């Protein structure tokens, strides 16, 4: 007999199951509103032209080889990534209070951070990591993997399809001192609902009072609003307020490097006298975490991002292409609302344009979602989340008409 006969069959990952079901569907009008990846107006993946250029430069480089990267990754990439999220003029950078480790994209950055916190963050009362309800489903799993206890803070207000700010603030106020709070830096997944700047300021006040540790997950910088600085505002505000914090940064969406796994974990020490020394010590421990888990991070995606971030001409082209992606998504929000309005679809759909980023929490019920799948071959997650990137000028009428039918 096997020692593993007790291992239960895990449910399939709901998102990847959805992708497979859409792929297997042979209906000509099928629509994929599940996958969290950018699609162009023809529903095709988009390799950013600036990525193609960076790729060509790499191919032309006769000195390029397949040697290991350093344990902490490609330094020119990770430091440019730190400037990108914190701002080039960040005092934290000038004061050498930041250490950065290249990771297996955003997922790996969340994991590395979680592993580091599990090892070194003092939690005398077994303080939990607070995650938003709902959140990206992987947060819970990643924290479970490193045995950090998880608690939830209310986030989504179903009636307004907006932020449950009262619920969020009251949960943070009653969180035990020293708890960790995982925050989405921008473009909250799955809801598309972000706090306003004033609300972020209140969150910061409470977190300082309650001595809560901020852990920002930033998977959509520049992809949300089309403006890199705007999407980094909350993180920079917390740094400016003197918090000690960490950041998981992904280049999957904003550079379209999904499978290349380009990401960075940053630890920012607070502005205290021995901050630079603390940063060195923390960096040395992060290197051990990294060494024991992956030894060395993968090079290709990091090299692409490195070229784009460190070349003024390519960087400007990237910003333009970010505006293209964000702009198309914002257009699709408006188009969908306009079409539903024209159809006289019951309900208020204004939340679709108020929400931001890749996703919209439509408010469609599970029953309606399943009907859309069965009757119209439109695929979305059961919680009614749609990936705005799956909509385009060719299918918007079809999707609006199908939604109209199932909500009546």
Catalytic residues: 136, 217, 253
Binding flags for ligand PLP, 135-154, as an x/- string (CB under 6 A): -x------------------
| Token pair in block for residue 108 | 């790996």
Residues 168-207 binding ligand PLP (CB under 6 A) are 184, 189
The least distance separating ligand PLP from the CB of residue 390, rounded to whole angstroms, comes to 14
Cα–Cα dist 351/345, whole Å: 14
The residue (of 257 and 406) whose beta carbon lies closer to ligand PLP is 257
Secondary structure of residue 273 in the 3-state scheme: coil
The residue (of 15 and 118) whose beta carbon lies closer to ligand PLP is 15
Secondary structure of residue 213 in the 3-state scheme: strand
The residue (of 218 and 376) whose beta carbon lies closer to ligand PLP is 218
Task: Compute the CA torsion angle 110, 173, 235, 179 (nearest 10 deg).
Answer: -30
Residue 297 in contact with residue 104, Cβ under 8 Å? yes
C-alpha pair distances (Å), 3 with each of 6, 7, 10: 8, 9, 17
Contacts of 284 (CB under 8 A, 6+ apart): none
Does residue 263 touch ligand PLP according to CB under 6 A? yes
Residue 189 in contact with residue 135, Cβ under 8 Å? yes
Instruction: Encode burial over 8-26: b for 16+ CB neighbours within 10 A, e otherwise.
Output: eeeeeeeeeebbeebeebe
Does residue 164 touch ligand PLP according to CB under 6 A? no
The least distance separating ligand PLP from the CB of residue 389, rounded to whole angstroms, comes to 12
Does residue 301 touch ligand PLP according to CB under 6 A? no
Residues 267-296 binding ligand PLP (CB under 6 A) are none
The residue (of 112 and 250) whose beta carbon lies closer to ligand PLP is 250
Q: Where are the alpha helices (DSSP H) in 156-274?
A: 165-173, 197-209, 228-231, 233-240
Cα 367 from chain centroid (whole Å): 28
Strands 245-250 and 150-154, by their bridges, are unpaired
Q: Which stretch binds ligand PLP (CB under 6 A): 74-82, 101-109, 197-205, 226-234?
A: 101-109
Does residue 306 touch ligand PLP according to CB under 6 A? no
The residue (of 219 and 399) whose beta carbon lies closer to ligand PLP is 219
The least distance separating ligand PLP from the CB of residue 250, rounded to whole angstroms, comes to 3
Does residue 78 touch ligand PLP according to CB under 6 A? no
Residues 219-258 binding ligand PLP (CB under 6 A) are 219, 250, 252, 258
The least distance separating ligand PLP from the CB of residue 289, rounded to whole angstroms, comes to 17
Cα–Cα dist 278/97, whole Å: 8
The residue (of 257 and 275) whose beta carbon lies closer to ligand PLP is 257
Counting residues that bind ligand PLP (by CB under 6 A) gives 13
Does residue 105 touch ligand PLP according to CB under 6 A? yes
How many CB atoms are located within 10 Å of the residue 310 CB? 14
Does residue 18 touch ligand PLP according to CB under 6 A? no
Overall size of the chain counted in residues: 408
Residue nearest to ligand PLP (CB): 106
The least distance separating ligand PLP from the CB of residue 400, rounded to whole angstroms, comes to 26
Does residue 106 touch ligand PLP according to CB under 6 A? yes
Does residue 360 touch ligand PLP according to CB under 6 A? no
Q: Looking at 20-113, which runs of residues are DSSP E strands?
A: 31-32, 98-104
The residue (of 103 and 179) whose beta carbon lies closer to ligand PLP is 103
Q: CA nearest 213: which of 190, 167, 247? A: 247
Residue 385 in contact with residue 355, Cβ under 8 Å? no
Which residues would be at the binding site for ligand PLP (CB under 6 A)?
36, 105-107, 136, 184, 189, 217, 219, 250, 252, 258, 263
């Amino acid at each position: 007999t096997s020692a593993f006969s007790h291992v239960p069959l895990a449910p399939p990952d709901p998102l990847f199951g959805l992708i497979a079901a859409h792929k297997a569907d042979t209906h000509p009008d099928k629509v994929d509103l599940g996958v969290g990846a950018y699609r162009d107006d023809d529903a095709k993946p988009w390799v950013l032209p600036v990525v193609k250029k960076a790729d060509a430069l790499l191919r032309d480089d006769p000195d390029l080889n397949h040697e290991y990267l350093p344990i902490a990754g490609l330094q020119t990439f990770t430091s440019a990534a730190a400037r990108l999220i914190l701002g080039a003029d960040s005092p934290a950078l000038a004061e050498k209070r930041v250490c950065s480790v290249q990771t297996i994209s955003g997922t790996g950055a969340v994991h590395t951070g979680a592993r580091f916190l599990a090892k070194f963050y003092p939690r005398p009362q077994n303080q939990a990591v607070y995650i938003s309800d709902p959140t990206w489903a992987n947060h819970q799993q990643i924290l479970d993997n490193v045995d950090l206890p998880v608690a939830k803070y209310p986030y989504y207000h179903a009636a307004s399809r907006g932020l449950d700010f009262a619920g969020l603030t009251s949960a943070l106020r009653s969180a035990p001192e020293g708890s960790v709070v995982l925050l989405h830096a921008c473009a909250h997944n799955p809801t598309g609902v972000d706090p306003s700047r004033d609300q972020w300021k209140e969150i910061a006040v409470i977190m300082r009072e309650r001595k809560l540790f901020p852990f920002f997950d930033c998977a959509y910088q520049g992809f949300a609003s089309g403006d890199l600085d705007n999407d980094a505002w909350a993180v920079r505000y917390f740094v400016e307020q003197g918090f000690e914090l960490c950041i998981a940064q992904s280049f999957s969406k904003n550079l379209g490097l999904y499978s290349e796994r380009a990401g960075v974990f940053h630890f920012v020490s607070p502005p205290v006298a021995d901050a630079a020394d603390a940063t060195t010590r923390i960096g040395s421990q992060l290197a051990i975490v990294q060494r024991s888990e992956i030894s060395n991070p993968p090079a290709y995606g990091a090299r692409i991002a490195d070229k784009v971030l460190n070349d003024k001409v390519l960087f400007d082209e990237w910003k333009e292409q970010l505006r293209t992606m964000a702009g198309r998504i914002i257009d699709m929000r408006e188009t969908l609302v306009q079409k539903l309005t024209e159809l006289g679809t019951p309900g208020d759909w204004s939340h679709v344009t108020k929400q931001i980023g890749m996703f919209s929490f439509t408010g469609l019920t599970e029953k309606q979602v399943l009907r859309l799948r069965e009757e119209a071959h439109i695929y979305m997650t059961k919680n009614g989340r749609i990936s705005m990137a799956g909509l385009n000028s060719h299918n918007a009428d079809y999707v609006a008409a199908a939604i109209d039918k199932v909500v009546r």
